[in-house]
Amino acid sequence: METLGRIPLIGEKMPAMKVKTTHGVMELPTHYKGKWFVLFSHPGDFTPVCTTEFVAFQKRYDEFRQMNTELIGLSVDQVFSHIKWIEWIRDKLNVNIEFPVIADELGNVAMALGLIHPAKGANTVRAVFIVDPEGTIRAILYYPQEIGRNIDEILRMVKAFQVSDANKVATPANWPNNDLLGDRVIVPPAADVNTAAERLSKYECYDWWFCHKKI
């Protein structure tokens, strides 16, 4: 496993690592080359909040896949524990977990990605890494063990990244339901005075530095 001597940051490449999963051994990020993927850690198998998250991720898995995005979970539990827990979710909750789950038994992945926060215990916190098709980390989220994640927000972020990349724009707060702009997107600020003047006639603007458009 390649590490930087610290946790990776937004805009950097996901560290190369070989991981044991419920779907066999995988090499990240190359296993998902050409696809987006969301790597998310959970504190432990057979725990209530984590179970609700796994069900929520699975129920939205088709939506992620429609955006060329895969899911992969992670905790420091052993692989047999993951398998048994997935069986329990299938048998008791009638939900079949289709995405792989990393068994980080030695904690190497957790340490490389900064998933162990000692003041919160020895288990992994609820982290989320959104990685693009080139293996670049585009977003990092951390949640404490006691707060379950909003899966719809993670979906929204992936969609926003893809819209931003395709159109060279930014997305406003709560996009696509922004209080000021609705589902419109923000045009990048002008870099010179001529472009600033052109913006006012080319787009709808509150001012030359705050222009927006429909896509």
Distance, in Å, from the CA atom of 34 to the CA atom of 69, rounded to the nearest integer, reads 10
93: part of which helix (H) or strand (E)?
helix 79-93
Average pLDDT over residues 174-188: 97
> pLDDT class for 3, splitting at 50, 70, 90?
very low
Average confidence score pLDDT of the chain: 95
Average pLDDT over residues 97-119: 94
Kindly state which CATH superfamily the domain 17-148 is placed in: Glutaredoxin (3.40.30.10)
| Residue 2's pLDDT band (cuts 50, 70, 90) | very low
- CATH classification number, 168-215, choose in 3.30.1020.10, 3.40.190.10, 2.40.110.10, 3.90.1150.10: 3.30.1020.10
Element (H, E) at 131: strand 126-131
Distance CA 10, CA 25 (A): 26
pLDDT for 190 equals: 87
pLDDT tens readout for residues 131-178? 999 999 999 999 998 999 999 999 999 999 999 999 999 999 999 999
Domain ranges in the chain with CATH number 3.30.1020.10? 168-215
196: confidence class by pLDDT, cuts 50, 70, 90: confident
Indicate which residue of 14, 38, 39, 50 is catalytic. Answer: 50
Considering the chain, tell me which residue range(s) the CATH 3.40.30.10 domain(s) occupy. Answer: 17-148
pLDDT tens readout for residues 59-106: 999 999 999 999 999 999 999 999 999 999 999 999 999 999 999 999
Asked if the model's pLDDT at residue 1 lies above 50, the reply is no
211 in active site: no
Strand order in the sheet with 17-21: 24-28, 17-21, 101-103, 69-75, 36-41, 126-131, 137-143
Of 26-35, 76-85, 121-130, where does mean pLDDT reach its minimum? 121-130
Per-residue model confidence (pLDDT) at position 186:
98
What pTM value is reported for the model?
Answer: 0.94
Contact, 38 vs 129, CB < 8 A?
yes
Question: CA-CA distance, 27 to 160, in Å (whole number)?
Answer: 27
pLDDT value of residue 5: 58
